[in-house]
Chain A
Amino acid sequence: MSNPRVAGAGVTKFGKHPERTGRDLFAEAGLEALDQSGVDPDDVDALFYGNFMGELAEHQGHQGPLMAEAIGLDVPATRFEAACASAGATVRAAVKDLRNGEADVIVVGGAERMTNIGTAAATDALAIAADDLYEVRAGMTFPGAYALMARSYFEAYGGSREDLAHIAVKNHEHALVNDHAQIQKEITVEDALEAPTIASPLGLYDSCPITDGAAAAVLTSEAYAEDHGLDAPVAVSGTGQGGDNLALQDRDHFAQTPAADKAAREAYADAGVSAADVDVAEVHDCFTIAEVLAIESLGLYERGEGITAATDGETSRHGDLPVNLSGGLKAKGHPVGATGVAQLATIAWVLDGSHPRADAVEDGRVGVCHNAGGTVASTTVHVLEVAE
């Protein structure tokens, strides 16, 4: 099967830009991706665009055509919404269309404007990724949901808040040289443990910040990249997506993420690789515990063993399997609808050697992106490989 190429990617500085509209954020990322790709904009066949809370944050629905216009494209443009996995879903849809010959060039990406509405309203908007009747009305927040999962994990497998703190410390350290990152500040385990609690057992430093930002990538068919002599050495070789009951209460257990298990199995099989082949990963660490659940679902760690990976230094940039070299959602920030494509951009840049942390994985060939929606009721996993 032919594997689509990442021809270019663009990511805005993630952070607090309350005065910048979603369309302005996406235009910056999208134009950067197009410029970097060397693709003639007339050759773009479609825009697949991810966004979660546009109606609440900007009173703006129907963002697909708006964003196409913002980057100078007159193409079919569709918005994908899968909570925090919205952008991952755009990548998956594009890979399928590029493989089956429906298209030669697709722009994928997403944007989220969140800080303009303030913390309380953003907390409210994020919460609606959960079940309104049975979770939101029981006071569930997004951090609260992951807190429920963290406590279940500790109960099932052990681990401590200190192990979670090591994940935050690692991801903050990784972000120090990432100029796209929202937080470029080193923290200590003590800082994390002493930070105010948001939803016990999770504290402020277990949580990603509220972020404005956008990310975009130009994906092309393999044939298009070859015919046009594009500098596009990284291919998307595997795609997978899994689902689960929306409400935590309807699942068998809360210390595993079966939607991610399914997505990973499918993506690895599609790419013809196994977890053992993975050199580097960007995973959805909206909360520190989420990184643990992710690396276990990806098969990088056995159940119950992911919790100590950061404590033991294995997932740091000096370790055998660097996770979240970008700083992750924790330090890089999490503009919800953009995250999945920001992960793709990071892995592409790490594999082509242009990322500031690329030296952590010299001669890396295989990277994986894990993008989770809500309490992991949606997950996409993509495998990226050096193709040439």
Chain B
Amino acid sequence: MIDAAPDGAYDAWLDSIEDDAPYYLECENGHGWLPPRRICPECRSRDLTEEPLPDSGEVTTHTTITVPTPQFEDDAPYVTAVVDFGPVSITGIVRGIDPEDVAIGTVVGLEVGERVTTGDRAVVFRPR
């Protein structure tokens, strides 16, 4: 990994999760996205505002990864899932539940955790 400056709007978004005030970006037509975005790719609106992200979401799809990249070597096996929060979906790692028990529809909340392998911040979901 390249040791470099923080990734601006993305790191600020992780900060917002840690501060218990996570947000997403919404255009005037109600399309939701995650930062950084300057334009809604759906309707080309440039009027994007920060809106509070719902407290919990539902697992849309998930996989237990046993062959990871080197940055996740010591994390494996782990569950990567896409979670539908309504206005946006977010990809992250599911913790606090046996991988076998993760299912489509499982309700989870959002937090920031650490990657075991590198100590870097990671989006983590936990059952609610």
The judgment on whether A and B are partners is yes
| Distance A147 CA – B64 CA, assembled complex (angstroms) | 9
Q: Number of contact residues on B: which range applies?
A: 20 to 34
Q: Are A198 and B67 in contact (CB under 8 A)?
A: yes
- Report which of A143, A148, A197, A249 forms a contact with B62, defined as CB distance below 8 A: A148
- Is A188 engaged at the interface, CB distance under 8 Å to the other chain? no
Known: A151-B104, A250-B89, A254-B61. A138 touches B70 (CB 8 A): no
- Taking CB atoms, residues of chain B closer than 8 Å to A143 are 65, 67
- Is B72 engaged at the interface, CB distance under 8 Å to the other chain? yes
Known: A199-B64, A248-B91. A134 touches B34 (CB 8 A): yes
- Taking CB atoms, residues of chain A closer than 8 Å to B104 are 151, 155
Contact flags B30-63 to A (C-beta < 8 A → 1, else 0): 0001100000010000000000000000001111
Considering the complex, give the chain B residue whose CB is closest to the CB of A125: B69
Q: Are A199 and B65 in contact (CB under 8 A)?
A: yes
- Report which of B68, B75, B82, B120 forms a contact with A123, defined as CB distance below 8 A: B68
| Distance A133 CA – B65 CA, assembled complex (angstroms) | 18
Q: Are B41 and A139 in contact (CB under 8 A)?
A: no
Q: Are B90 and A148 in contact (CB under 8 A)?
A: no
Q: Are A249 and B63 in contact (CB under 8 A)?
A: no
- Is A135 engaged at the interface, CB distance under 8 Å to the other chain? yes
Q: Are B65 and A250 in contact (CB under 8 A)?
A: no
Contact flags A105-146 to B (C-beta < 8 A → 1, else 0): 000000000000001110110010000011111111101100
- Is B7 engaged at the interface, CB distance under 8 Å to the other chain? yes
- Is A245 engaged at the interface, CB distance under 8 Å to the other chain? yes
- Is A98 engaged at the interface, CB distance under 8 Å to the other chain? no
Distance in angstroms from B103 CB to nearest chain A CB is 10
- Report which of A138, A201, A245 forms a contact with B93, defined as CB distance below 8 A: A138
Contact flags B67-80 to A (C-beta < 8 A → 1, else 0): 11111110100101
- Is A196 engaged at the interface, CB distance under 8 Å to the other chain? yes
| Distance A137 CA – B41 CA, assembled complex (angstroms) | 22
Q: Are B67 and A151 in contact (CB under 8 A)?
A: no
- Taking CB atoms, residues of chain A closer than 8 Å to B90 are 134, 249
| Distance A198 CA – B82 CA, assembled complex (angstroms) | 18
Considering the complex, give the chain A residue whose CB is closest to the CB of B75: A139
Known: A120-B70, A134-B91, A197-B64. A139 touches B7 (CB 8 A): no
Contact flags B94-107 to A (C-beta < 8 A → 1, else 0): 00000000001000
A-B contact count (CB 8 A): 98
- Is A60 engaged at the interface, CB distance under 8 Å to the other chain? no
- Taking CB atoms, residues of chain A closer than 8 Å to B63 are 144, 147-148, 151, 199-202
Considering the complex, give the chain B residue whose CB is closest to the CB of A130: B91
- Is A21 engaged at the interface, CB distance under 8 Å to the other chain? no
Considering the complex, give the chain A residue whose CB is closest to the CB of B84: A249
- Is A152 engaged at the interface, CB distance under 8 Å to the other chain? yes
- Report which of B69, B82, B120, B122 forms a contact with A124, defined as CB distance below 8 A: B69
| Distance A119 CA – B68 CA, assembled complex (angstroms) | 10
Considering the complex, give the chain A residue whose CB is closest to the CB of B120: A137
Q: Are A141 and B122 in contact (CB under 8 A)?
A: no
- Report which of B41, B69, B75 forms a contact with A120, defined as CB distance below 8 A: B69
Distance in angstroms from B79 CB to nearest chain A CB is 9
- Taking CB atoms, residues of chain A closer than 8 Å to B92 are 138
- Is B66 engaged at the interface, CB distance under 8 Å to the other chain? yes
- Report which of A119, A133, A139 forms a contact with B80, defined as CB distance below 8 A: A139
Known: A121-B70, A138-B91, A250-B89. A245 touches B41 (CB 8 A): yes
A141-B67, A147-B63 known, 9 other contacts, Cβ within 8 Å: A123-B67, A123-B68, A137-B120, A144-B63, A148-B80, A152-B61, A199-B67, A202-B63, A249-B90
29 contacting pairs across A/B (C-beta < 8 A): A120-B70, A121-B70, A123-B68, A127-B69, A134-B91, A135-B91, A137-B120, A139-B65, A139-B75, A141-B65, A143-B67, A144-B63, A144-B65, A144-B80, A148-B63, A149-B61, A151-B63, A155-B104, A196-B66, A198-B65, A198-B66, A198-B67, A199-B66, A200-B66, A248-B82, A248-B91, A249-B82, A249-B89, A254-B60
